[in-house]
Structure 1
Amino acid sequence: MKRNKLLLALLMSGGLGQVMADEAPTCDKAEGCDERIVVTGELMRKPLSVVTDPKKPRLPLPAYDGAGFLKTIPGFSISRKGGAGGDPSLRGLGGSRINIVNDGQHVYGTCGGRMDPPTAYIYPESYDSIEVIKGPQTVRHGPVGSAGTVLFEKDRQSFVDQSATGRASVTAGSFERLDYIVELSAGDENHYLELDANQSSSDHYEDGDGNSIQSSYDRRNMDFALGWTPGDDSVLELSYGKSDGEAEYADRANKARVIENENFTLMAEHDFNGDYLQSMEFQAYHNENDHVMDQFDQGVNSGTNVRRRTQGGHIWAQWSIGKLSMVTGADFQDSVHKGRSINPAVDNGLDDLLAKPFKDNMSYTQFGIFGEFEYDFEPVMLVTGIRYDHWDTQLHVAQQGDRQDDLVSGFARIEHEFGGHQYYLGVGHAQRIPDYWEIMKANADDNSQKAFDLEPEKTTQLDAGWIYEVETVTLSSALYYGEIKDYILIDNRNGFSKSRNIDATIWGGELGAEWRITESLQTQLSLVYAHGENDTDNEALGQVSPLEGRLTVDYSIGDWTFGVLWRVVDDQNRVAVGQGNISGQDLGESAGFGTVALNGGWKHGEHLRLSFGVENLFDRTYAEHISRSGAGNDIPGSVPTFKVNEPGRNAWVKLEYLF
């Protein structure tokens, strides 16, 4: 009944918005009608794609990393383990099913317990745009993400005259939250440089009952780029990035003493603007993660150090032949995971750990080629692509071994646009090899062996939807249905953590509406539902979030803006206790909840901006369904919790200066 009421309310609001579309004042989009200081959500404005500007303040205030930002986009859930290091899930699919691309690089985590998923090395505000492509509907950005692809991207600079621009911001909040970022871009018609440095830290937060949750973190990031623009059509850029920090988590005793990444990238682009060949892009990268986790501070002689080195690159060519546009290309990556751990019988403490030699755990190489095409049939657009990947994976522990996989992925989508309407229908197929974390679990038939013989996972999914946009109203809808053959399930039942293949079915939908009631007042609603079925075992698929709705109202007057966000989440009784994915397993059924957050903003001219907010206004004690166990929550003044509870009432303020 609750689901029906929520759906009815959303549909009525969306329908009312369309009825009144001609009555509300129009918005001159050429003057930037969406330039509000505080952003509370993003709608899908083109088929299966959400694009957002991470530099704008947003509610709720995200954590320092990429996962905290993705949580603000409807459809994403985050497996919370503390104040940072959350693992994203999209449409009920988590882990490596989401393809995270860090400005062209594939940066993988190292920790066997997922202390550092790929998003842990991303500070969102330092990027210029973030795009989410839902479902297996692109083949361009490396091995296909069956749940979707997330692109964290930076713009390439171009200066006509010698000049410099930049921005600086500082954010302070409850639980000693403190962030700062400084960005500088300078150059002339032939050269440019970019520099950004940021830091984010927080103490342990408290839930709504005042119970301390072990969640402190301290992270630092720095990126530097030098560019050469010999002409208007060419750019060559060399960049370097480094991040480091530490964190504590409520779901485990181990502390992340070191979470470090260092990367180098060389990128070249040239626009030919020819009759057929339009442009080419080349990128090569090298990155290495270093992670130390231990319990030395607690007087326990236990510690591990893991590292992962990944290097690769791609070359793309963009073509135009009449009504046909296409991108063709190839990409490559080589990655090695290695580690070292103390032997408590002969080693003692951090110094002994760091003196031990590393041993390789797993390594792989991947080579892929693809073609992605658009053909305008007027009025129907056909978008399609196909991709081939060859993998060579080596296991260096347990039974050891070498496996090779040849995978084919692809998609086809038709889009029809007329007036303010867009309709689309697409089918996608993604094949995915088992990742490091899945292989390192026990074999389903032999607990002494690794799960190196897992079959590749194969997802076939149908996506359909409608987008309607006029001056004052935007409506968007998306439906999907997918069948997953050889879904890789993590099963912690019977005392062992095992990986095994099953068959699964997923389906769900997303509905969003935005109504600009007047030039000063607008509202936005979203509704998201995902359903997963373990067909092999005839039970629910683990780690699928329940029905969720969001309502925001924003009001602006002069240089001020004010807003409220109401988030409502249904209970979840479709669970598979002990089963899930590499991000976590179901702990049990979860209760529904609702939270309210307030925000405001003020701008002074073109240079100074102030934003502020209060989240979980009524200090509710609750945990998300997708959450880790709180059994490791053992700081003074705290008690273990069934799940890792979300923060209680917390306030924040952010000051930003642009120059």
Structure 2
Amino acid sequence: MMNKKSILTIPFVTLGLISLPCLANEAVTKTDESPTVERIVVTGELMKDPTKTYTDPKKPRLPLPAYDGAGFLKTIPGFSIGRKGGAGGDPSLRGLGGSRLSIVDDGQHVAGTCGGRMDPPTAYIYPEAYDNITVIKGPQTVKYGPVGSAGTVLFEKDRHSFDEAGLDGRASMTAGSFGRTDHLVELKAGDEKHYFDMDVNQSSSDHYKDGDGNKVQSSYDRSNYNFALGWTPTEQTVLELAYGSSSGEAEYADRANKAREISNENLTFLLQHEFDSQWLNSIELQAYTNENDHVMDQFDQGVNSGTNVRRTTSGGHLWLDFTLASDWTLTAGVDHMDSTHEGRSINPAIDNGLDDLLNKPFKDNMRYQTSGLFVESTYELPHGQLLAGARYDHWKTELMVAQQGERTDDLFSGYGRYELTSGNSQYYAGVGHAQRIPDYWEIMKADVNNPSQKAFDLAPEKTTQLDIGWIYEADIAISTSLFYGEIRDYILIDANTDKTSAYNIDATVYGGEVAATIPLTEHFSTQTSVSYSHGDNDTAGTPLGQIPPLEGRITLDYQYNQWAAGLLWRLVAAQDRVAIGEGNISGQDLAESSGFGTLSFNASWKHNDALLVSFGVENLFDITYAEHISRSGAGNDIPGSEPTFQVNEPGRTAWVKVDYTF
């Protein structure tokens, strides 16, 4: 462990970033003859556009190639993951998680099912199977369904067209410590009028060990299958029908229940068409339906306890893009979503085992229906642009358990942002407002004034946030992103009451991220990032729970011909601003946490454009540590293990990955 003083090096990183523009003219740049090597991404991509970070999930990256969406987001500054074990991590952005972070799976909203968050939306996402991942920080878009007050993450796939009949594909395999194995196969085939797209992947791992050699209950096994058939009758038109299936199981260190099944099936229809018109540019229509099925039980431990929950979500959107003038574009759209959660549980007095559980009837728990209308506009100015958007959502929520009842809510969200371009710099300032309905997990907590009832009367959460930043791109690349938000009726989860309850408070959050890429010589470069978040419970005059500590990352990268190598030093400060027992649906603060530092190594070798071999070792010095945002390790009771206060991170981990493109 590192003590608090060990983290004092992080401010020096910040000071270095402030002085970067002075170094720009002295930086060594690559010539046209310099070799191009697939560098392993270790601190996430820098922000290229105001509020937005784009990344290619097929690029090799550190840490160990991510098994699910949460593991991938952890590589991007500003994100934290609440670890339960090897799978099912819950992502948060700037200390705001749950439904404050909108996860959009190639146009679909796939909500989790488990009341204990065994399957957050990212659990069904294998990142490498996607073509693009976009993070929009803050409430700075209203386009993608219910607005994410913390931000929006888009996992997207490309649509394909072929000039002539052809076939291409990709295969990858990963092997690592603790029995980690991944396999992926992608195929794309088509001609001028049709295409077929397929990806199949499988990932599994045994229980890992922490730095002390203590086994952490964390095994998982998951398979994903996705198929798409496309018709391109003209160069301007795409129609696609896609089917996806995901199934798996997992064990967690924070609970006795095993996730016997975490599965999802989805069906999507997509129409995209570009118009040859002066004012109407394009139309996109998408309709989808998906179903999650989750079984959690203790039957294997000899305990007659089990629950099966299921969620069915259907929806779609219609988007229209317009050009109103040579300097003015507008997108308008409508969307709808209908989601029903249902469940069944064992009754130990009359039921026994898995068969009895699966033969019981499902009972509805809750149903959401929402319809939205939005407009987003971009107006070009001589040296920048002005962007704005507004959204209206009508919600109907029905509770079928406890006190039962119905409620309707009319919510309004919007934003405005000014972006200025000057030389190699972009500057931006935006104000966004997002209103958020209480989600399933919040409503299912106890009413703080009547613990026998559900928290069905929670007020919608209202976030108003200022986002400002500076992006510089020349020999040196720098991105800065700062935010200040006031949240009225913040929905707080409190485990200090007789029953874990949910109630509204007022809160303030602020912080930001600073990152840079600096070439040092022809072959050496460095990446640096610093992220910080601060949260206050204004109602109680105390810290806000589940806020991550100050974090810095420093890398040294080397490239020569077909070879690339790098070191990543990650420094995380202690966190003494805590609210014990308070937080959000992902977890609550357990205690103050110590700071730590880890060192990781990676390297890769590329042969032509077809073969790439990458490998690495993480937590090189095998230290024992846990992230501040982590679940309790009290459920860690498999043979060869002992309970831990928090779920410790993996010890020294080695891995190798082979990619072949054809």
Asked if these proteins are the same fold (TM beyond 0.5), I'd say yes
The question of whether the paired residues in 1 share the 8 Å contact of 2:7 and 2:572 is answered with no
CA contact (8 A) 1:226 1:237 kept: yes
> Structure 1 residues 615, 478: closer, same or farther in 2, change over 3 A?
same
Which of 353, 368, 375 is the aligned partner of 1:371?
A: 375
Alignment of 1:609-628 (within 5 A): 609-628=612-631
Distance in 2 of aligned mates of 1:453 and 1:30: 65
Identity of aligned residues (%): 66
1:490 equivalenced with 2:493 (yes/no): yes
Structure 1: any 5+ residue segments left out of the alignment?
none
TM-superposed CA distance for 1:29, in Å, is 8.9
1:522 Cα offset (Å):
1.1
- Report the CA distance between 1:22 and its aligned residue: 2.2
Do the aligned partners of residues 649 and 589 (structure 1) sit closer, same or farther apart at CA in structure 2, a change above 3 Å counting? same
Q: Residues 38 and 600 of structure 1 are in contact (CA less than 8 Å); yes or no, is this contact kept in structure 2?
A: no
From 268, 284, 288, give the equivalent of 2:271: 268
Which of the numbers 44, 61, 65 marks the counterpart of 2:47?
44
Equivalent runs, 1:146-545 vs 2, <5 Å: 146-321=149-324, 322-470=326-474, 472-545=475-548
What code does the residue aligned with 1:9 have? F
Shift of 1:315: 0.4
Q: Deviations over 1:166-222 (max 9, x none)?
A: 000000000000000000000000000001000000000000000000000000000
Q: Any idea what the Cα deviations from partners look like across 1:11-69, whole Å, max 9, x if unmatched?
A: 44335543332233434799996842555421112111110000011001144110000
CA contact (8 A) 1:39 1:56 kept: no
- How much has 1:95 moved relative to structure 2? 0.5
Equivalent residue letter for 1:55: K
Residue correspondence of structure 1 range 53-64 to structure 2 within 5 A: 53-64=56-67
1:477-532 residue CA offsets vs partner (Å, 9 max, x unmatched): 11111000000000010331001000000011211111122332110100000000
Letter in 2 for 1:552: T
Provide the C-alpha distance between the structure 1 equivalents of 2:482 and 2:27, rounded to a whole number of angstroms: 30
SS, match of residue 47 in structure 2: coil
Contact 1:62 1:72 in 2 (8 A): no
Counterpart CA distance in 2 for 1:594 and 1:187 is 49
Q: 1: distance between equivalents of 2:276 and 2:600? A: 49
How many residue pairs get matched? 658
Distance in 2 (CA, whole Å) between partners of 1:239 and 1:201 is 25
C-alpha spacing 1:72/1:37, structure 2 compared with 1 (3 Å)? closer
**TM-score (norm: length of structure 2):** 0.98
Give the distance between the partners of 2:400 and 2:620, measured in 1 at CA.
51
CA–CA separation in structure 2 for the residues paired with 1:180 and 1:647: 22
C-alpha separation in 1, matches of 2:560 and 2:207: 37
Partners of 1:3 and 1:481 lie apart in 2 by: 28
Query: 1:10 offset after TM fit, Å?
Result: 1.9
SS of residue in 2 equivalent to 1:230:
coil
Indicate conservation of the 8 Å contact 2:38/2:59, yes or no.
no
Paired amino acid for 2:483: Y
SS for the counterpart of 1:437 is helix
Deviation at 1:652, TM superposition (A): 0.1
The whole-number CA distance in structure 2 between the counterparts of 1:28 and 1:357 is 68
Distance 1:3 1:594 in 2: 9
Contact kept in structure 2, 1:205 and 1:212, CA below 8 Å: yes
Asked if the contact 1:504/1:532 (under 8 Å) is kept, the reply is yes
Inter-partner Cα distance in structure 2 for 1:93 and 1:144: 13
Change (3 A) 1:203 1:4: closer
State whether residues 296 and 308 of structure 2, in contact with CA within 8 Å, keep that contact through their aligned partners in structure 1. yes
Distance 1:352 1:277 in 2: 57
1:125 counterpart SS class: helix
Residue type of the alignment partner of 1:339: G
1:558 Cα deviation (Å)? Answer: 1.0
> Secondary structure in 2 aligned to 1:297?
helix
Tell me which of the two structures has the higher relative contact order, counting C-alpha pairs closer than 8 angstroms and 6 or more residues apart: 2
Larger deviation, residues 408-417 vs 59-68? 59-68
TM-score by length of 1: 0.98
> 1:3–1:547: 8 Å Cα contact kept in structure 2?
no
Aligned to 1:108: 111
Describe the superposition over 1:213-264 as per-residue Cα deviations: whole angstroms up to 9, x where unpaired: 0000000000000000001100000000000010000000000000000000
CA contact (8 A) 1:221 1:241 kept: yes
* d(CA) in 1 for partners of 2:491, 2:6: 30
- Distance in 2 between residues matched to 1:315 and 1:371, nearest whole Å: 12
Instruction: Give distance in 2, aligned partners of 1:640 and 1:333.
Output: 41
RMSD across aligned C-alpha pairs, in angstroms? 1.5
SS of equivalent residue, structure 1 residue 553: strand
- Matched letter for residue 289 of structure 2: H
Counterpart code for 2:430: G
Taking a change above 3 Å as real, the CA distance of residues 32 and 390 of structure 1, as seen in their structure-2 partners, is farther
Q: Cα–Cα, structure 1 residues 34 and 633, in superposed 2: closer, same or farther, change >3 Å?
A: same
Could you say which residue in structure 2 is the equivalent of 1:561? 564
Query: Which residue, 58, 63, 74 being the options, matches 1:71?
Result: 74
Deviation at 1:351, TM superposition (A): 0.4
Higher mean displacement: 31-40 or 489-498: 31-40
Q: 1 CA distance for matches of 2:585 and 2:73?
A: 18
Supply the AA of the counterpart residue of 2:172: S
Partner SS for 1:448: strand
| SS of the residue 1:22 aligns to | helix
Q: Which is worse superposed, 431-440 or 517-526?
A: 517-526
What's the secondary structure of 2:26's corresponding residue? Answer: coil
Q: Residue 638 in 1 paired to residue 649 in 2?
A: no
Alignment of 1:18-37 (within 5 A): 18-27=21-30, 35-37=38-40
Deviates more, 1:55-64 or 1:276-285: 55-64
**Contact 1:220–1:245 (Cα < 8 Å) also in 2:** yes
Q: Alpha carbons of 1:63 and 1:622: their partners in 2 closer, same or farther (altered >3 Å)?
A: same
> Is residue 38–residue 611 contact of structure 1 (8 Å, CA) maintained in 2?
no
| Preserved CA contact (<8 Å) 2:37 2:562 | no
